[in-house]
A = this chain, B = another copy of it.
Amino acid sequence: MTSVPNPPWRKTRKPVKPPLSQEAIVDVGLRIVDAEGLDGLSMRRVAQELDTGPASLYAHVSNKDELIELIYEKVLGEIVLPEADPANWQEQLRAYARQAHAVIAAHADLSKATLAKIPTGPNALRLGEYMYGLLIEAGLPPLDASLGMDRISLYIASDAFEGSQHYAHMRAAGITSPDDYMKHLLEQIGGYYRSLPPEMFPYMTGNLDALVEPNGEDRFEFGLDLLIAGLEMRLARMRESF
């Protein structure tokens, strides 16, 4: 902008913009993901938001992958754990899953990151320890508790991701209201199913309403019910074998 040297009576001009830091980078990154999705996140975009060049970020973050991991860890920190009460482990597990799902789903398609990596950050460990303890105290053998935790975590992340894809399609189609999108989608899919030849697809064409009726929340709850009921059955079978 200006090449005039600093006047000698003002020794050094303190920089007006805050210095770069990993935290600032992660904050900006999360803001971008929230606003534009994971695909909208680029090193250049983050740098631009911080009034600098992309190369400057690499002093604080070794990778784009690492940046995404840090963003994800920060989001996991938003989850607050209900007090453990092993007598009602089913309801506790359900409450935890709902909350974790809601928090993750609130940040666009960030859930893609979990599916792609084994989470090892402090917050991921905190959540894992919680679920593991809950299932062990409920009476499940450690192996079942470990597998149950693993499967439920996968379920939460994958459903959140699937939901985010719908949201992305909605935005790509230029629709802003989720209701309008749902209506649009139902008409489109429903109409398509209706046009299928009934002799080839007797069940789908014959029971069409049940296919298109349930919304995202219904689907999530149903799957969660199945998983928890499966764990219950395992626990009951284990108990009666003694």
Cβ contact within 8 Å between A196 and B125: yes
How many A residues touch the partner, as a band?
A: 35 or more
- The one of B128, B210, B225, B227 that contacts A142, using a Cβ cutoff of 8 Å: B210
- The one of B151, B161, B165 that contacts A223, using a Cβ cutoff of 8 Å: B151
Cβ contact within 8 Å between B219 and A151: yes
Interface centre among A136, A157, A211 (most CB of B within 10 A): A211
Task: For A201, list chain B residues within 8 Å (CB).
Answer: 125, 129
Could you tell me the distance in whole angstroms from the C-beta of A39 to the nearest C-beta in chain B?
Answer: 11
Question: Which of A44-52, A93-101, A116-124 participates in binding chain B?
Answer: A116-124
A202 at the interface (CB under 8 A from B): yes
Could you tell me the distance in whole angstroms from the C-beta of A13 to the nearest C-beta in chain B?
Answer: 45
Q: Give the residue name and chain of the B residue nearest to A166 (CB).
A: B118
Question: Which of A56-64, A175-183, A230-238 participates in binding chain B?
Answer: A230-238
Could you tell me the distance in whole angstroms from the C-beta of A131 to the nearest C-beta in chain B?
Answer: 9
Q: Give the residue name and chain of the B residue nearest to A227 (CB).
A: B226
Q: A125-B204, A132-B204, A230-B230 are in contact. List 7 more A-B contacts (CB 8 A).
A: A120-B192, A142-B210, A148-B226, A151-B222, A151-B226, A225-B230, A226-B234
Q: List 7 A-B contacts (CB under 8 A).
A: A136-B203, A150-B219, A151-B226, A155-B158, A155-B223, A226-B231, A228-B230
